[in-house]
């Protein structure tokens, strides 16, 4: 149930049998949510499960994943990106490329040279709208480097492409602060993006 599914085109996808599969700062995460405002957030290697139940649909503004992740972060140090101390940006050019990629997504570009061809091929209007909306890209006040994790040994892949680093950035806009995780290949192409408020 927690094994990434193999797609007909040979790629794998970070989804098991009903469970989303991801990782946060070297911690394996298994989760399941629903439109009804619930989320199960499991950190199996840390022996922690957080279950959030709300009576408000996600369409109405419920954010059970944010709540679950926030609770888990009180018990497992380091999984909340908001708890990290800012570091000097080791690669300002890459930061600029990540910001340009977000602009590409906000403008509906589906063949960005900053993304892997495999991820470009799987961009859906829903994903693009999610990234553009969750990051409120039109009112960005700042976009800064937070940290990078080397993950070669963990054998993480996204859409059939091996990931070597996950780099985290803090985006501040007029409404909120968000943290974006960029899954990068050895040649610094983006294989996937995740967004959160913690």
Give pTM, 2 decimals.
0.79
Which residues lie below 8 Å from residue 82, measured CB to CB, with a gap of 6+? 177, 179, 197, 198
CATH number of the domain at 83-196, please? Answer: 3.10.450
**pLDDT greater at residue 37 or residue 170:** 170
Percent of the chain whose predicted confidence (pLDDT) is above 90: 33
Question: Phi and psi of 192, rounded to 5°?
Answer: -170, 165
Range of lowest pLDDT (9-13, 74-78, 166-170): 9-13
Residue ranges of the chain assigned to CATH 3.10.450: 83-196
Q: Per-residue pLDDT for 176 more than 70?
A: yes
Supply the pLDDT for residue 131: 72
Residue 44 banded pLDDT, cuts 50, 70, 90: very high
pLDDT at 56 over 90: no
pLDDT band at 71 (very low <50, low <70, confident <90, very high): very high
What pLDDT is recorded for position 11? Answer: 65
Query: Which single residue is written with the structure tokens 């892949």?
Result: 157
149 vs 25: CA distance, rounded Å: 7
**pLDDT value for 138:** 65
Residue 89 has a pLDDT of 94
**Cα separation, 162 vs 191, whole angstroms:** 8
Give the residue with greater pLDDT, 71 vs 11.
71
Residues near 128 by Cβ (< 8 Å), separated by ≥ 6? Answer: 105, 108, 110
Pairing of strands 140-150, 177-184: unpaired
Mean per-residue pLDDT over the chain, rounded: 85
Residue 169 has pLDDT above 90, yes or no: yes
pLDDT per position as a tens digit, 90-138: 999 999 999 989 888 878 888 889 999 988 888 877 777 767 665 566 6
């Amino acid at each position: 149930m927690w094994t990434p599914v193999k797609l007909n085109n040979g790629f794998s996808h970070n989804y098991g049998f009903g469970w989303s599969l991801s990782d946060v700062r070297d911690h394996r995460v298994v989760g399941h949510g629903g439109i009804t405002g619930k989320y199960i957030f499991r950190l199996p290697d840390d022996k922690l499960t957080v279950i959030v139940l709300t009576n408000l649909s996600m369409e109405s503004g419920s954010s059970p994943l944010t709540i679950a992740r926030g609770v888990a972060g009180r018990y497992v140090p380091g999984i909340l990106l908001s708890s990290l101390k800012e570091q000097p940006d080791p690669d300002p050019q890459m930061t600029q490329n990540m910001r340009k990629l977000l602009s590409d997504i906000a403008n509906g570009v589906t063949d960005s040279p900053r993304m892997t061809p495999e991820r470009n091929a799987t961009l859906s209007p829903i994903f693009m709208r999610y990234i553009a909306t969750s990051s409120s890209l039109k009112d960005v006040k700042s976009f800064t480097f937070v940290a990078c994790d080397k993950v070669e040994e963990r054998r993480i892949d996204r859409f059939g492409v091996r990931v070597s680093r996950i780099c985290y950035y803090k985006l501040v806009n007029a409404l909120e602060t968000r943290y974006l995780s960029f899954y990068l290949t050895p040649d610094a192409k983006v294989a996937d993006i995740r967004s959160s408020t913690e």
